[in-house]
Amino acid sequence: MLDATRALALVQRHVTSKAEARMTYDVAIAGLGGIGSAIAAQCAARGASVIAVEQFGPAHDLGSSHGKCRMIRKAYFEDAAYVPLVLRSYELWRALERETGEQLLRTTGVLSVGEEGSDIISGTKRAAAEHDLPMQAWSRERVRECYPTLMLLENEVALFEPDGGVLNPEGAVRAHLKAAQTAGAELRFETTMQSWEANDHAVQLHLADGTRLSAKALVLSLGPWFKETLEALGVSLRVQRNVQAWFSPSTNLYAADRFPAFLLGRAGLPAPLYGFPDFGDGLKVAFHGLGQITTADAIDREVDIARDVTPIAQVLEAWMPGAATTFREATPCMYSLTPDGNFVIDRHPAHSNVVLCGGFSGHGFKFAPVIGEIAADLALDGGSRHRIDFLSLERFRGPQGPNG
């Protein structure tokens, strides 16, 4: 029996061979990670002819869309303006599950802990109040009753979001690719876009194998490889190496049927700690937004235990005794950080038929399906039904220039 990746590759080769004669498309997409795969699925579902290229293989682990678990939550402490988008994402994730028959989103609840005035606690409360979201303020006694091992500090408070949960990133990418192909999209893997040029009527793509393609619109969903594109527009993008680690606990109290995903904004930590219950392959834990600045091509993919894993294990064990008993594995992931930590979703200022989707700053994966919907709106209709003005390039164009 073929595994999912081999089957997807065979389908891709079959679709490509049938479509070799086509060189002009409604939409071209560069990048097929978490965001690009969703864009391909959304565009193809509307009947558009779609060509999408990816420099690596399907659902690869070399960018920002891997790691077995990604958090999804409605009360968005980063900015309440994201809440309508994440609510739509919930709907679209469930629709994708129904379409593909895959389980992608598991509701575990999300427990957020920190001091009353911390960004996580105050921002979560603000988003929940503004959008009337289910949110429970838990006393220390309630936390101890539900999760008796947890070690809260005296000045820490807890919020529990029952609708929060966990996404399977690799499964989600494969599901979006499957949906795109079923709808007729042509997907080319191990294929690099070398350059593009646009005029008012079309965009020309030049691929590394010498192929030239034409499309009415181009969507750039390049992940950390978006840095050059944004900086050409005067907006800086920092690529950060973040290590995610897995541990086998010495207790079953952290199993997925008994424990939630969590955010810990504890004073004195180098960055917030986040993590997930054990679904059978260990607890996944990482610091949010902590790591060296690098580039997508120069990132150090080797994990050093003392540098990368031990600090995570020490903080985890102090917070969840027995959680970090045995180290299992670790891998780096890349954050693409904009100056303000918010996404860039906009049309290119010089080319209205080029759509920019990037700078997801370590918190974009949960939004993949709604970003796919927005990008399809922009590429095919010229505007979006969603409010995305706070994600436009215009916010960087102050009186002192793009980053002023």
pLDDT digits (tens, 9 = 90+) for 54-93: 999 999 999 999 999 999 999 999 999 999 999 999 999 9
**Residue 132, burial from CB neighbour count under 10 angstroms (0-12, 13-18, 19+):** exposed
The two three-digit tokens of residue 204, written as one number: 């020309």
39 C-beta neighbours (distance < 10 Å), count: 32
Residues 74-86: b if buried by 16+ CB within 10 A, e if exposed: bbbbeebbbbebb
Domains in the chain, please, with CATH?
A: 4-64+170-236+341-396 (3.50.50.60), 72-167+238-333 (3.30.9.10)
Q: What is the pLDDT, as a whole number, of residue 86?
A: 98
pLDDT along the chain (404 residues), means of 10: 46 43 87 98 98 97 96 97 98 98 98 96 97 96 96 96 98 98 98 95 95 97 96 96 98 97 96 98 97 97 98 98 98 97 97 97 97 98 95 82 44
- SS3 label, residue 286: strand
* pTM given for the model: 0.92
Question: Taking Cα atoms as reference points, which of 237, 198, 244 lies closest to residue 344?
Answer: 237
Q: How far is residue 97's CA from residue 126's CA, in Å, rounded to a whole number?
A: 31
Pairing relation of β-strands 186-188 and 105-107?
Answer: unpaired
pLDDT digits (tens, 9 = 90+) for 235-269: 999 999 999 999 999 999 999 999 999 999 999 99
Phi then psi dihedrals of residue 377, to 5 deg: -55, -50
